[in-house]
Amino acid sequence: MAGILVYALHDDEGNFNKNSQGAISEAAKLAGELGTEAAAVVVGDVSDEGAQSLGAFGASKVYRAKSVPEGLAQPIVDAMAKVIEENDIDYALFGGGLLGFEIGAGLTARLGAGVTMEVTDVKVQDGGLVSVRPILQDSQIVDVQYVGKPGIIIGRLNAFDTVQGDGGSAEVIDVDVELSPWSTKAKMVTRGEQRGANVNIEDADFLVAGGRGLGKAENFDLCEQLAGALGGTVAATRAVVDAGWFPYSAQIGQTGKTVAPKLYLAAGISGAIQHKVGMQASENIVAINKDPNAPIFEFCDLGIVGDLHKIMPKLTEAVKAKKGA
Amino acid sequence: MAKDRVAPVEYPPPVNDAEEFVGPPSDPEEDRIEVGVAIVGGGPAGLACANRLMQLLEHEPELQEKLGEVPVAVIEKGKTPGAHLLSGANMRPSALKELFPDMPESEWPVLWKVEKDAVYLLTSKQALPLKPMPPNFRNHGNYVVSVAQLGRFLAGKAEEAGVYLLSETAATKLLVEDRIVRGVRTGDKGRGKDGAPLSNFEPGSDVTAKATVLAEGTLGHLSFAAMDYFDLGGEDEQRWELGVKEVWEVEKPLDRVIHTMGWPLRKAPQWNEFGGSFIYPMGDNKICIGFVAGLDYTDATFSVHDVLQEFKLHPFVKDLLEGGKRVAWGAKTIPSGGYFAMPKRFSVPGMLMAGDNVGMVNIPELKGIHYAMHAGMYAAEAIVDALKRDSINYEAYDERVRSSVIGKDMYRSRNMRQPFTRGFFVGGALARAMTITKGAFPGGHFKQEHDSEVEMVLDGASKSYPKADNKYTFDKLSSVFASGNATRDDAPNHIRIQQHVPLQIAQTWVSMCPAAVYEIPEEQVEAAQNGDGDGDGKVDVHVTPSNCVQCGAITAKGGRLTPPEGGDGPLYTQV
Amino acid sequence: MKICVLVKEVPDAAVEKRMDPNTMQLDRSGEKNLNPFDTHAIEAAMQIKEGGAVPIEEIVAVTMGPESSVRALHKAVSLGADRSVQLTDDALAGSDVCASGYALAQVLKREQPDIVLLGQQSDDGECYTMGAVIADHLQMPSLTQVIKIDVSGGKLRCERQAEYGYDTVEVELPAVISVGDAINEPRYPSLKAIMGAKKKQLDKLSAGDAQIEASRVGEEGSRTKVLALNPPSAKEKGTIIEDEDTNETVAKIVAWLDERKLL
């Protein structure tokens, strides 16, 4: 069969991650358009029910390689390469994340395949798939076609929406995989260790960022409280880091970190270009600023012209009330 | 109540040039880096010097031997030669021809040959052509260049010829023993905000040389130190103008070099606003547009960057930019003191100085690149001649500069700036009169004060400045971004100022600086205006040194710029 | 032991980059620099060498690129590499990830390194993949996005942040490791090292020298093709609320967030 193959990553409890579910949903959608089907590869100790459950996202088959350990890329490359070759698969699609990049890259070498990374959209064109990828700090978008088969598509993190269908069950096919000698030479010592209480701002889904408009260091409390209510964390602009109001580790921008959370709430931030380059990829940008001419109002999704000292405490309460409801 | 008017010079920067920046080598002898000729500054002067030296040494194996393993090294603080170079620029090609006589014109690093030029007097609504054109504006036979690209071109030639280019390296101290210049010390790298060494700290080195050439450009750090230590100051104080420039990609090609005078500068004499604009074709679909103003203005809220933004909204100018896009931005000072502000001597034993750092700019014609290159070449010739005699005295160089096109041109235009006319953008008739009389009119020599001696007052220049629309007009911070500046945020402060000063002084710096380096906390502005706060009418100036694009204006107006860590500052590529 | 560090010349971060609409390739004519992530890889190599847990005889900087990429090698040498290798050949121009990875692996096969280090991403937009591509060609274990390397018992103990938290992984040698910028603070080259860089051995290889099959590299050998280059779709202008009645404003914000399932 031809088709699109997805790698579904799971944690030590057997829960599949959201990115993988999104990738399967995307593959199913594309397979529908191409008139083929979507399949998934799982490795390690995955129950029948667990594997079958991926059918809900559109996988018609799930190849399960029980002897292959989860968590490191190279053994999974062995498994996927085998499935791709034996089933004449046309495309391998990854939802992003570190392992997706590594496995996709490994397959590129193993199969002499074309690869495109940081893909935000995939289209069907002339009976094949074309990857859409932003480049050069998202200033340009390229459409990339694959030459020969298979094509490797590595999505940007959270690029593909999860679509849960009406409970179809996937056919589970066990595969035996012989690992390459070099695939066994890296060993996981500890996996998924949690460090520090602070969420890394680059990983946070919700960021409340404070700028000069806060007025003084103490007013970062307003950000902390709103972030707490939203279940997010606090970030800062260079100006306030420079002023010593907040630590550098939370600085967003050209010389700080680049983030792309689901929600970026900018409090008292003017939105100078140095800041913009660090957060413009955020899914939703909300800005509160008293200056109606602040550049951030040019590129935010929701802008509030007003006094953040008045708005933020009430917003925090309202968010808490809403979430509590 | 604090005084209305106060001069920056009353709050001098905490610096002592001769003591801090001049001294003997400090590295143990075996650790010193020995070179033949150490050239500080990879601009037109330094690189013309380097190229000329290699040409002269080519058939002189004995001299080469005397200079050692590294005959010529160019020490450049920018990320690459050209990174810190900015100029108009209309270049007279005389020096380029002299340096590379066999190079066909097609290989010159020039963008557009000037065939047509025009001067306009601007009112707020109109642009009135000035005819006949004042002679100093005539540019036929000159070439529009990007000096940032010229620098890279000359550096490439120098490197091919065997010159060592040491980019990302600041020269911070002049090495002097027994009043003989022995070389320079390079700057430390890897210091934090507070100046303390970071984990990757790398100390500077003593670079010793048989001859040291200071070609640092406008407001050169070691040139100041040398002039102070060796007491080389000229008859007049040096003065400066500040230019802010942008490069645009436009839809309609421009067919002429344009200069304007008048609007948006204010005419009333108490404001002392003198300057004008330039708009040059750069070939293809690019043009550059800039505004230059003397730094002896009196209004603390005056900002050349914002004047340029306002200027672009004039119907005449906006029409040229229509549908275009800004692709680069930068700022730089230009020495404008003229003949009498040049130092008494351009050399001392072991050292020579060439270019903008010693004021080699013909302000009425707004030309200096060819002087810088000529001077660099003369310096090279003087060094080789002296080397043949095993001498380190370069008086011949002083003679040569004075008797050359540099000395003669500058003498001819010695009175152009003072007292009736100012800078490049002089009234046509008056300029003609002076040019015709070869500078004798209006006669005499008028003493001029330093820019920092001008008393500053808060007087509303900023009221008309437009808000950035991010299409035609831009704020300072996004402009710093367009300069290619990517200096790390925790870089140590390289700008010396007094940080608790009267509001007028602080505001002067805030407004003047095109790169938003200086800020006053909002509440302090209000307090100072209401006479609250400490009650002394003073405010604290907050400095963001990483924004600095090395224009040098702060040194003219009451502070002192020192070199940043090597590699910091802007990365100009087309200005 | 020998460490090879892969380095790359990239357009300087401070310069606005653009695509050449004719070739659909990145316009590389402007200002260039050593890829900043690669300086972290060189520093990691230096720290392994200076750490002394394994004897490192040699650190070799390897690049593939046009003639001008020799500058990136000089910089790498000034930062500590002992010598460098430049793979340069017109036939390689336009190579994609698949083709470049193969070509670089061919060069590395000549060197027989015990450790290959590289930056996890390059400033010109390629990211996270090259290490794993090369490792598969070299049949070595590999790990990317590594933020800590310890050497013990002839193995590398590496840490990185993966999907579920921090992973610690032990890797046997020879191995390919790509590093993130959190791994170290690269040193500044000394002036002496900068001046000496040009004197260190530099081997220039053609595709033929490295036994690279011409059909597998360049535009012809690439397995991806750029079809179109488009500007990003203009973002719709956002909603602006003037805060007059704060309670009402807050209600609007909450409704807006709720609509987007952000609460």
pLDDT under 50 in chain C at which residues? none
Q: Find the range with the poorest average confidence among A12-26, B295-309, B341-355.
A: A12-26
Chain B nearest C-alpha distance from A243 (Å): 9
Q: Give this complex's ipTM.
A: 0.90
A-chain residues near C131 (CB < 8 A): 105
Longest Cα separation, chain C: 74
C208 burial (CB, 10 Å; 0-12 / 13-18 / 19+) is exposed
Please write the tens of the pLDDT for every residue from B474-496.
999 889 989 998 888 788 999 99
Q: pLDDT at residue A176 above 90?
A: yes
Please write the tens of the pLDDT for every residue from A179-216.
999 999 999 999 988 775 455 787 788 999 999 899 88
Task: Provide the number of CB pairs (under 8 Å) joining chain A to chain B.
Answer: 31
Are the beta carbons of C191 and B205 separated by less than 8 Å?
yes
Please write the tens of the pLDDT for every residue from A248-288.
778 888 667 778 889 999 999 998 877 887 898 888 999 99
Q: pLDDT at residue A76 above 60?
A: yes
Mean pLDDT of chain B: 91
The total of other beta-carbon atoms located within 10 Å of residue B395's CB is: 15
For residue B373, what pLDDT band results from cuts at 50, 70 and 90?
very high
C-chain residues near B571 (CB < 8 A): 12, 14-15, 31
Chain A nearest C-alpha distance from B481 (Å): 7
CB distance C172 to C139 below 8 Å = no
Chain C nearest C-alpha distance from B562 (Å): 20
Query: For residue B477, what pLDDT is reported?
Result: 86
Query: For residue A250, what pLDDT is reported?
Result: 85
Please write the tens of the pLDDT for every residue from B82-122.
999 999 899 999 999 999 999 999 999 999 999 999 999 99
Please write the tens of the pLDDT for every residue from B233-259.
999 899 999 999 999 999 999 999 999
Nearest by CB to A141, which of C230, C250, C256? C230
In chain C, the residue whose alpha carbon lies closest to the alpha carbon of A313 is: C250
For an interface test with A, give the residue of C129, C176, C240, C241 to mutate (most A CBs within 10 A).
C129
Q: Find the range with the poorest average confidence among B153-162, B195-204, B474-483, B533-542.
A: B533-542
CB distance A90 to A112 below 8 Å = no
Are the beta carbons of A274 and B477 separated by less than 8 Å?
yes
Query: For residue B1, what pLDDT is reported?
Result: 43
**B469 contact A CB<8A:** no
Q: Find the range with the poorest average confidence among A154-158, A182-186, B164-168, B359-363.
A: A154-158
Q: pLDDT at residue A166 above 80?
A: no
Chain A nearest C-alpha distance from C183 (Å): 15
Query: For residue B432, what pLDDT is reported?
Result: 45
Query: For residue C146, what pLDDT is reported?
Result: 94
A-chain residues near B481 (CB < 8 A): 254, 272-274
Q: β-strands C142-152, C175-179: how paired?
A: parallel
Rounded mean pLDDT of A140-154?
94
**A297 contact C CB<8A:** yes
Rounded mean pLDDT of A120-130?
95
- B204/C164: higher pLDDT: B204
Q: Map tokens 């500052």 to a residue.
A: B569
Spatial distance between the Cα atoms of C163 and C145, rounded to a whole number of angstroms: 12
Query: For residue B427, what pLDDT is reported?
Result: 47
Nearest by CB to B489, which of A242, A293, A295? A242
Q: pLDDT at residue B421 above 70?
A: no
> What is the pTM for the complete model shown?
0.89
Q: How far is CA B37 from CA B226, B382, B384, B507, B532, in A?
A: 17, 12, 10, 43, 57
Q: pLDDT at residue B366 above 50?
A: yes
For residue B425, what pLDDT band results from cuts at 50, 70 and 90?
low
For residue B445, what pLDDT band results from cuts at 50, 70 and 90?
low
Helix H or strand E segment including A287: strand A284-289
Nearest by CB to A242, which of B468, B480, B544? B544
Q: pLDDT at residue B448 above 80?
A: no
Are the beta carbons of B571 and C195 separated by less than 8 Å?
no
CB distance A229 to A171 below 8 Å = no
Query: For residue B535, what pLDDT is reported?
Result: 62
Coil, helix or strand at residue C223: coil
Instruction: Using CB atoms, list chains with 3+ pairs below 8 Å to chain C.
Output: A, B
Q: How far is CA B129 from CA B121, B178, B266, B275, B431, in A?
A: 6, 58, 19, 17, 16
Pinpoint the alpha helices (H) of B58-146.
Answer: 61-67, 94-99
- B214/A246: higher pLDDT: B214
